[in-house]
């Protein structure tokens, strides 16, 4: 999967954080065959299920490195608290939704409720 660092990473990350972010990017490039849109669909459906809705189409999705205190070495030894944040916009059956979620949470879809750790903005047709 293609992951990049946020545009303002120099303001957010120390030099050690940058090194760990590069490790996460490399891990995702070499080991994750799923696309950003594929992971985003899991997140959208997780957020929409509580709204009695579902994903019809992912319109936009991007993945960036981010720090997450709940993830520890999720991408291999030495990555520590570095994670991947996925932002997505999708069309649902009843409207549109914007979501943001950590990939380490999305991996747990079906096993763990993580919607309370997500950013969700829902637009419903009336």
pLDDT of 126 reads 82
Write down the pTM of the prediction: 0.94
pLDDT of 43 reads 97
Mean pLDDT by 10 residues, the chain (126 residues): 94 95 96 96 95 96 97 95 98 97 95 93 91
Residue the block writes with tokens 């090194």: 19
pLDDT of 110 reads 85
Structure tokens at 88: 């997505």
Which three-class secondary structure string do you get for the chain?
CCCECCCCHHHHCCHHHHHHHHHHHHHHHHHCCCCHHHHHHHHHHHHHHCCCCCEEEEEEEEEEEEECCCCCCCCCCCCCCEEEEEEEEEEECCEEEEEEEEHHHHCCCCCCCCHHHCEEEEEECC
- 11: CB partners within 8 A, 6+ apart: none
């Amino acid at each position: 999967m293609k992951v990049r660092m946020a545009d303002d990473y120099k303001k957010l990350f120390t030099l050690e954080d940058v090194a760990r972010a590069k490790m996460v990017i490399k891990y995702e490039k070499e080991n994750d065959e799923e696309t950003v849109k594929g992971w985003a669909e899991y997140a959208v459906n997780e957020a929409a299920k509580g709204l009695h809705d579902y994903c019809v189409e992912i319109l936009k999705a991007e993945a960036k490195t981010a720090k997450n205190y709940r993830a520890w070495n999720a991408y291999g030894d030495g990555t520590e608290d570095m994670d991947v944040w996925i932002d997505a916009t999708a069309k649902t059956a009843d409207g549109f939704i914007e979501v943001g979620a950590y990939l380490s949470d999305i991996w747990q879809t079906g096993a763990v409720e993580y919607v309370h750790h997500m950013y969700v903005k829902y637009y419903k047709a009336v």
